[in-house]
Structure formats: C-alpha cells, structure tokens
Amino acid sequence: MSKTEIYYFSGTGNSLFVARAIAEKTNGTLIPIPRVLEKESITVEADTVGIIFPCYLAQLYGIPLIVERFVDKLENISSKYIFAVCTCGGLENVNALPTLKNLGKLVKSRRGELAAEFSVKLPMNNLDYPTIFIDQNQEKMFKKSVDKIEVICQHVISKKKSKPVLKSLFNLCMTPLYSVLKFAYIAHLKKMSKEPKDTKLKYYEMIPLTDKSIFADDKCVGCGTCTKICPVQNIKMIGNRPVWQHHCEMCMACVEWCPTKAIHHWNIAEGKTYHHPGVKLSDMLI
C-alpha cells in the first residue's frame, strides 16, 4: 500500500491548514518539520512526500531556512513522488515561482525530483493591506484555497507531474527586477539585524539576527505563549519577559499568537495581526 508523508512548516497556520487538508484527503501522515529537524538524517519511508511551507523574501530565496535545513537532511528520496505547496499572500507568480524553483534545486541536490509544484494564496500577515494593489478579501481567498487544495489532492493521488512551464518563462523575465529588489531587501535586513552597512554577512546569516528588532511592550503578561509557539525555541522567558536568542526563522508566530498583542515585529504593520481562522493555538504547538 502506498504511503504518504506530509511535512510542513507554519507560522500563521496557513501552511498547517493546507497540509492538514491534503493529509486528510490523501490518507497521509502529517509531520511538523521542527519535530524531525534534530535528526542527523531523515530517511523517507513513504512513496509520496509533500513539503508545504510559506515563501519568505521570494526575490532573495523564498525558502524558510528551516525548510532548507530539512531538505538537506533527506535521504532515500530518489524514487519518491515529491510535491511541494508554497503558501503566499502576494502574487503567486512573483512569490511562489522563484521559491519553488529554488526548492527544486535543493531536492535535486539530494538526488530527488520535485515532480509537482503548487501554490495556494492565503492572507498575508506582513503588509498594511490598503497600501498594496493586491486583493486581500480573506473570505474569497479561503474559498479559493479549498478549491485549489482539492485540485492538488487529485494530482497527488494520481502522482501526476505538474511543472508550470509558461509561468517559469514569466519568472525568467522577472529575474532582472528581482536583482534590483535584492539590494533593497539586503539593506533592510542589515538594518533590522542591527549589522553595519559594510557587514560581510549573507542574507541567510542576517535573518536569524533580525529578532534584535522584535520586542514586547507593557501589555506582556509573561504567559510564555511565545516560547511555546516558536518552532525553533528561539525565545526564553527571563525575568518574566520574552528574550529572543538570535536564531529566528522570521515566521512571526510569536507576534500572531500572542494573546495580548504585546509583541511587535519589524515586518508587520501596527495593528495588523493574522492567523488562519481554521487553526487553533493548540494545533500549532509542536
């Protein structure tokens, strides 16, 4: 009997919602990536493997660092049907395509093949919606996401390959623009990680340090929810206050799930918080 394993990483619950729905429809086993990351290597026993995650800084790389570390540990995947679903809040072509392309390269480096690539648009959590020209009607996105998940499951069950060739050509045409945006993103990461402008650190070295620009205000009651929700145990309670340990994944879970809205992230507009309504705090705790 064919087996399916669905690995996921999620901060707001978007990717968990998608992963859980796919696991249910494909009779797959749902596995949080943080739960297996401490292993030296991850041997895949299932015939079908799904990797589901949000895209971060797509024009730089797109793949959360924790997902990259996970893929780098995969073993025994050369004969597997591997598919990926990237959740994103912006334009899918602009955000998901470069991310999935990079993931394909990672999987190939582990002697596997990314047979099918998908994206699901869900509400974003890091922009002031009225200032961008992207439809952020949440109810509409939730409905479309359910329909899209159904299509994805049909592909996965039949192990159908799916590569967006025409969209990939669009991505190629956008490469010069991505190169321009890269400089702006790097400059911002230097500022948020509080590194000097002439730092030699690469972007993947600065991302863990950007928690230097996260803080909790006086509404913090010391409940410790942030320490429990952090997928990489990057937060400790010291003196009844959260203190970040500088190996941040930039998932923003600590902000979005804080019960008193006491935590402020440099990449989230004030007053704009979000987590998927179909996911509870207890679902998120690893």
Asked if residue 153 and residue 250 are part of one domain, the reply reads: no
Asked if residue 122 and residue 43 are part of one domain, the reply reads: yes
Asked if residue 165 and residue 23 are part of one domain, the reply reads: yes
| Domain of 209, in residue numbers | 185-284
Contacts of 132 (CB under 8 A, 6+ apart): 90
Asked if residue 14 and residue 117 are part of one domain, the reply reads: yes
The number of domains in the chain is: 2
Asked if residue 208 and residue 136 are part of one domain, the reply reads: no
Q: Hey, what are 182's tokens? A: 């890269």
- Alpha helices (runs of H) in the chain, residue ranges in sequence order: 14-26, 33-36, 65-71, 92-109, 138-157, 165-192, 203-206, 225-229, 253-256, 281-284
Residue 177 lies in a domain: no
Asked if residue 148 and residue 60 are part of one domain, the reply reads: yes
Q: Supply the pLDDT for residue 1.
A: 43
* Cβ atoms 236, 247 nearer than 8 A: no
Strand partners for 7: 31, 51
Q: Which amino acid is at 277?
A: P
Asked if residue 143 and residue 75 are part of one domain, the reply reads: yes
Asked if residue 157 and residue 52 are part of one domain, the reply reads: yes
Contacts of 154 (CB under 8 A, 6+ apart): 160
**The domain spanning residue 149 has which CATH number?**
3.40.50.360
pTM tops 0.85: yes
Residue 175 lies in a domain: no
Q: Supply the pLDDT for residue 180.
A: 75
Task: Divide the 286 residues of the chain into consecutive groups of 10 and give the mean pLDDT of each group.
Answer: 88 97 97 96 96 91 96 96 94 86 96 96 70 71 96 96 69 72 88 95 95 97 97 96 97 95 90 90 91
Q: Supply the pLDDT for residue 148.
A: 96
Q: Hey, what are 144's tokens? A: 């479309």
Asked if residue 130 and residue 13 are part of one domain, the reply reads: yes
* Cβ atoms 264, 219 nearer than 8 A: no
- Boundary-marking domain end, from 143, 169, 195: 169
| CA atoms of 52 and 49, how far apart (whole Å) | 10
Q: Supply the pLDDT for residue 21.
A: 98
Strand partners for 70: none
| CA atoms of 217 and 29, how far apart (whole Å) | 39
Strand partners for 32: 8
**The domain spanning residue 243 has which CATH number?**
3.30.70.20
- Boundary-marking domain end, from 112, 141, 169: 169
Residue 11 lies in a domain: yes
| CA atoms of 36 and 24, how far apart (whole Å) | 21
Residue 86 lies in a domain: yes
Q: Which amino acid is at 166?
A: L
Asked if residue 190 and residue 114 are part of one domain, the reply reads: no
Instruction: State the chain's maximal CA–CA distance in angstroms.
Output: 56
Query: How far is residue 147 from each of residues 4, 21, 25, 242, measured CA to CA in Å?
Result: 21, 11, 13, 39
Residue 52 lies in a domain: yes
Residue 180 lies in a domain: no
Q: Which amino acid is at 32?
A: P
Contacts of 168 (CB under 8 A, 6+ apart): 97, 101
Asked if residue 189 and residue 165 are part of one domain, the reply reads: no
Q: Supply the pLDDT for residue 171.
A: 67
| CA atoms of 211 and 139, how far apart (whole Å) | 32
Q: Hey, what are 90's tokens? A: 């912006």
Q: Supply the pLDDT for residue 130.
A: 47
Asked if residue 207 and residue 156 are part of one domain, the reply reads: no
